[in-house]
Amino acid sequence: MPERLAIRVENSGTVSVSGVKGVDLRNLAGDTAISKVTGQVTGSHRSGELSLSEIGAVELSLSSSQAKLADIKGMTMLKGRNGDCAVAQARGPIHAEMTNVDLTITDPAGTVRVSGENGTLRLVSPAKEFNVDVRRMLVEVTLADVVAGTVITTDEPLRLTFGAAPHVAIDAAVTERGSIRAGDFGLTPKEKDGETRLKTLIGEAGPQVVLRNLRADIVISLRK
């Protein structure tokens, strides 16, 4: 297709698009593969596999999709309900609002912001600040290099893993039930008035990582 062409796809089955300026998905259902789009991919997708690669920017609503996004050059904006979503090597900021979605974000070059409830979040090797504010969602963050970030969740474990001995300021707190475990660093949290708290430096002064959980554990560890 011509590279200057922007197209709209509606209510179709299996779709494959490559080498256009932009793509607008209108309530599209079924397996879809889109690549080498210089502008935006927008719209909505449901009930099938979705593959996006080498895209200028993304703004999508997903419902029961199995989505894989790679090499998004600009902003990635996602709203999802049910299903799975994996975002790899996005170059721009990521904003995701998810409900009951298993979301994995790997090697993002820009800032990351995630909100929503239920499901899971796995964030691997972010290069810039991250902010996660969710409910009833299992959250696992792995930091190859330490960057500033905040994670808030409830009722499911929150796990922070460092790839190497870090220089970081930790501010972690659990309320009502749950514990904070940081045995890899020989750290013991303090308990007072129904709150368990750990506020400390690991190594020398570095970026601050804030962790909050309600009725579930926080685990801070070093990758073996």
The answer to whether residue 1 scores a pLDDT higher than 60 is: no
What is the C-alpha separation between 93 and 20, in angstroms, rounded?
A: 23
Side-chain-facing half-sphere of 132: CA atoms under 13 Å: 33
| Model pLDDT, residue 10 | 82
Exposed, middle or buried, 89 (CB in 10 Å: 0-12/13-18/19+)?
middle
Write out pLDDT tens, residues 127-171: 999 999 999 999 999 999 999 999 999 999 999 999 998 999 999
Q: What is the DSSP letter of 138?
A: E
| Model pLDDT, residue 128 | 98
pLDDT-derived band of residue 3, with 50, 70 and 90 as boundaries? low
CA dihedral sign, ordered 157, 163, 165, 169: negative
Question: SS3 for 74-129, per residue?
Answer: CCEEEEEEEEEEEEECCCCCEEEEEEEEEEEEECCCCCEEEEEEEEEEEEECCCCC
| Model pLDDT, residue 2 | 52
State how far Cα 99 lies from the chain centre: 13
Which residues, in sequence order, are bridge partners of residue 73? Answer: none
Write out pLDDT tens, residues 36-85: 999 999 999 999 999 999 999 999 999 999 999 999 999 999 999 999 99
Token pair 């895209």 in the structure block, residue: 55
| Model pLDDT, residue 202 | 94
Percent of the chain with pLDDT over 70: 98
